[in-house]
Chain A
Amino acid sequence: MSYFPDNALIIQSDRTVLLDVHAPKAKAAQEAIAPFAELIKSPEHIHTYRLSPLSIWNARAAGMPVSSMVAALQDHAKYPMPESIAQEIAALGDRYGLTTLKPLNNPLKPLKPGSAEAPDFSSDLSSDLSPLMLKVADEPLAELLQRHEQVGPLLGDRLSPTTFAIDLGDRGRLKQALLSAGYPAEDLAGYLTGDELTLSLRSTTETGEPFHLRPYQQTAAKLFYQAGQAKGGNGVIVLPCGAGKTMVGMAAMAEIQQKTLILTSSLTSVRQWQRELLDKTTLKKEQLAEYSGQHKATGPVTLATYQILTYRASQDDDFLHLGLFDQQAWGLIIYDEVHLLPAPIFRITAQLQARRRLGLTATLIREDGREGDVFTLIGPKRYDVPWRELEGEGFIAAADCTEIRVAQTKERQMEYAIASRRYQFRIAAENPVKLAVVQSLLKKEKGHRVLIIGEYIDQLKAIAQQIDLPLITGKTSQPKRDQLYADFRSGEVSGLILSRVGNFALDLPDADVLIQVSGKYGSRQEEAQRLGRILRPKRDGRSAQFYTLVSSRTCEEAFAQHRQLFLTEQGYRYHIQQWDA
């Protein structure tokens, strides 16, 4: 096997490409593959890219020929490139553009005898958008797609040998089906024009602080909007917690200048969006509306939660609030924490392909494996940046992660040993010795702003009793929560104990120590999101401390290992300590 030590790429037959960041030509290799390879992991020594159909089609859409992609890989390969890779890139690249979704401005006469009437577009969600057609490259492909199990039923009348009428409501599902058939559609059908909304970003915030978008935020917004072209206007932006995803959302709004619906994961998050919009844009309070359990208002910018949209009185009832999507002529829908998107929203999003859609997340990991649906229905990943890169540039706080292994008492260990497997995790997670560790850590981190997060309410209550910090759980009323968060921000309370309500979309900029006493099994996303709570850059530049307490010699160790995967793949290192009472 030939070997070129200076080259940085290791190309594998499973279509992953490893980048040895220490190789002399690493930088050049990174630049060469960035246009057509998707960054998956970026731990400190080896970054992993994937040659996905989407990444290749995106590169083709940007005008990059297949030969350039293959040459870029070959020129920087450390070991010989597997032959199949070049063939696969060619096969995938050549499929791009074989199917195109376009507006049907001049509908042709249907070919089928007896179907002379115009195509039925009654399922249009947006009656002001012209009907669609799917144009395929040649007749054999048209025949193939017409017979395809998933694509066929979504094709309307055949307008010409290579053209099909498409129901407007099927736009999303057809794109999904075409993607799974391996013939991704180039969607040039454009978007609905929403009602106009004039807004701009301030240069000085309401509170008097200077404000401007950071370079990566500008880039992200630009990559999303694509200067208003049809190929832009949808997609997902992946930025670490605390890196200012809200700013990217606001920048997108400022570009589009149309009514916007913002969907978030919690009421706390709705309030945070409101605060940020008022602080950093020219929007007035009356232009913002809240559609939640408490208020059901809509306005030029409407903020709603996933919970209210998916509310129904019983399992057999309809979703009562999905009509919100049609209540106004939205020019943009922002899906905050898009990794949490619930299934009903997926379904409705499939019918909203005529609207501009922006997904925001820090961790595009779904433990249910539906990342693909996010890409198809919201749009491709437009921008992603390694966490450590932003940490290096000072945009998010540096963090030290420490796993503390805590032994159980002998009695507890025996209880764990004889418990059925189903309960073992909980016994380990609620290890009472962890309380002593929390106390010790609080002593050590005295003077810092501490968050203690756990999964089990009993455990959290026990901690709250011992250390005299307020506890916020799902049962805590929203006004009470808001008050406690405000107290924390103002410094009146030095710490908070949070159940999983503290996992997402909680902006507590001064928090710099987080103690995780228990978690939801091996959730990588939860681990990353919890770390994200303390990643807002600190004014004095101090680094954040993330402690995770794990019972030793229990299954919690294995779950912890899995939880840490996302962060270790982002380049974070965990120190492992053994707690010695």
Chain B
Amino acid sequence: MKIHMAIAEPNMAITQPSLLITLEEGLTFHTVDRLKMLLQLLPVKESPTRKAEIIEAIARYIRSANLRKLWQRLNALQQAAVAEAVYVTGGLYLPEQFQAKYGELPEWESRTARYSYRAPASLLDLFFYPIANYSTVGHVLPEDMRQTLKALVKEPPSLTIQSIKQPPESIQVEYQRYDYQQRKTIRRLENVPVVCCATEQAAQQDLLAVLRLVHLGKVSVSDKTLMPGKAALNAIAPLLQGGDYYSDIEQPTDQDPIGDIKPFAWVMLLQGGGLAQLDGKKLQLTKAGQKAMSTDPAKTIQTIWKKWLKSTVLDELRRVDIIKGQTGKGKRGLTALSGRRQHLVSVLSQCPVKKWIDYAALTRYIIASGQSFSVSRSPENLYISEPGYGYLYDSNSSWSILEDTYTRCFLFEYAATLGLFDVAYVAPYDIPSNEFKQLWGTDDYDFLSRYDGLLALRMTPLGAFCLGLANSYTAATVTVESTLRVLPNLDIVMTGPPLSPAEALMMNTFTEKTADAVWKLNRETALKAAESGHDLKEFQAFLTKASAEAFPKTVKQFFEDCLSRSQSLQDQGIARLIECADATLAALIAHDSRTKKYCQLAGDRHLVVLLDHETRFRNGLRKLGYTLPLSAN
């Protein structure tokens, strides 16, 4: 029987009504034969035959001071199981949770025997009882016993997420191949280096770079799935600080391709965060997106994160292509996205800041602390490879590969891309065999998901800020080296450290690149950028910051001119041009009190009417005794 519990904080006792109030109640659910077996475990001389008498004899012994002796007869692991039930689980024995915390299960013959109805009784059976008839194994500690045991049993050690000093520099991977000549399997061990990726600073720069690219109208997405196409991903990848996670890894051609992670994530995050939306086939920045280009990126990331948790733009599980049935029958059984994400966030909030955590330790902690969650209510409708085979109900535990792969994707692709967590990883095909490989239909695949290589993570200060663990966030001080020299002939030369992709994109937006390290300030280009909604003042501020000296006069004048020219004209909206029969009529309409507010004279015989004023203009025109036939256009 699988018991799902309410989410609990670690080490916080579950407070819910006990399933068994008294010891006798629990004993009643056993058969007489079973009760006799239990009685034999106790040092009592009498040997009653009637069920009530046996129950009374056992209960008498347990209720006496002998309970201490009975407790002492348990080995350490068994004692821990009882202690967990007394203090942590509200009287329940939860084997997965226990194993996650202690690494193994207590010795319990009645559970390990092949035929449980003939299985010998175990001392633990005197503590845990079934809650229904015909059940030989129990898992509930009666409430009265639990209260008594509190005096005898020490509280179990508290549960914490174990941090590690550093992720390993490499992991050992065993490769196997069959040698047909020697007719034996050759095993080869290889050390695979682990990549540690600091994400905090990069994410803030990446955000600005991707926003600018979207603003340039260079990111197209599918109008059905809202997912980016290959062209968009290829456009984004080079702009990212340090590239994508696996861009530096030479992927073997005989392995499944890993695919894009960060570029994909940014496109979905911008949409989920309300900064970009589909316009035709391209993404366009929303007003919030445009504002984000000039605001503190950390604040924007916090907003994106909050909105992403509630967003339905994408179920992260969709990124695991191998798991089929997500858009078919399995879709109905998928649990609510926001619930899953909030659940994970509450777990992640318990992680220490700036300390590495082994991913496996994190998952153990989730299980041990009873904070597991479900991705699907009907995993039997999800499958690998082919329908009819490889159903994921084969993976029958409260923490199945569904939850695991979802968590990996959520952390690696979204939380880490936003800079909330640093990550340590290897290529997904380099990790040792896991549960996935034991499933049917996985032989054709090198890995379950591109996120399988995630080994460890570390919450960044930005992560703490976004998860609400810190009230404020101060970006690490970046020493701004004077990177550019702005020359009087309007040339801008890169003389310092190479520009970040976001900076380079900004330069290319507002200026004309004339050589590898030279850009030219050009009025037409600058005005074109301003016309497209890019902020000239923002560019001027950037250039001022990056410039080694104050601007030469010619450059100052250039900006003044461009700013003045970009603000000299105002778009008042779309208008109709109306031709009058003669100049007199045009003048009459343009000066009549009923129409003059809504039109303007253009030349001798023409009037201009803004579309917004059209109805009122027509009303006034009718009062004046004229009408304007509807245009064919």
**Chain A contact residues, CB within 8 Å of chain B:** 1, 3, 5, 10, 12-14, 16, 18, 20, 22-23, 41, 43-46, 78-79, 82, 557-558, 561, 564-565, 568-569, 572-576
Contacts and interface: CB of A to CB of B under 8 A. Distances in A.
B498 A18 contact: no
A16 B487 contact: no
A38 to B, nearest CB: 16
A575 B488 CA distance: 10
Contacts of B553: 573-576
Contacts of B497: 3, 5
10 contacts: A1-B498, A10-B495, A10-B516, A14-B515, A44-B487, A45-B493, A79-B498, A82-B516, A558-B523, A564-B554
B518 interface: yes
Contacts of B549: 45
A252 B489 CA distance: 35
Contact of A43 (B489, B496, B515, B548): B489
A568 B516 contact: no
Interface of B: 485, 487-491, 493-498, 515-518, 523, 548-549, 552-554, 556-557, 561
A23 B552 CA distance: 20
Nearest to B565: A553
A3 B554 contact: no
Given A46-B485, A82-B516, A568-B487, A10 B554 contact: no
A79 B517 CA distance: 10
A16 B491 CA distance: 14
A14 B516 contact: yes
Contacts of A41: 489
B485 A45 contact: yes
A515 to B, nearest CB: 19
Given A14-B515, A18-B518, 19 more contacts: A10-B493, A13-B515, A14-B516, A16-B515, A16-B518, A18-B495, A43-B491, A44-B487, A45-B495, A46-B493, A79-B498, A568-B487, A568-B488, A568-B489, A572-B488, A573-B488, A574-B488, A575-B553, A576-B556
Contacts of A16: 515, 518
B606 to A, nearest CB: 18
Contacts of A20: 485, 493, 495
Nearest to A11: B516
A178 B516 CA distance: 30
A18 B491 CA distance: 12
Please provide the 10 A-B residue pairs with the shortest distance between their CB atoms, ordered closest to farther. A12-B516, A568-B489, A568-B488, A12-B515, A576-B557, A20-B495, A10-B517, A45-B485, A1-B498, A46-B493
Nearest to B517: A10
Given A561-B554, A576-B554, A576-B557, A46 B515 contact: no
Contacts of B556: 576
Contacts of B515: 12-14, 16
A44 B493 CA distance: 12
Contacts of B494: 10
Contacts of A82: 516
Contacts of B554: 561, 564, 568, 573-574, 576
B557 A46 contact: no
A574 B557 CA distance: 10
Nearest to A16: B515
Nearest to A575: B553
A46 B488 contact: no
A251 B552 CA distance: 40
Contact of A12 (B488, B490, B518): B518
Contact of A45 (B487, B517, B518, B561): B487
A309 B552 CA distance: 45
A407 to B, nearest CB: 13
A565 B490 CA distance: 9
Nearest to A20: B495
A481 to B, nearest CB: 35
Nearest to B490: A561
A47 to B, nearest CB: 10
B97 to A, nearest CB: 51
A214 B495 CA distance: 35
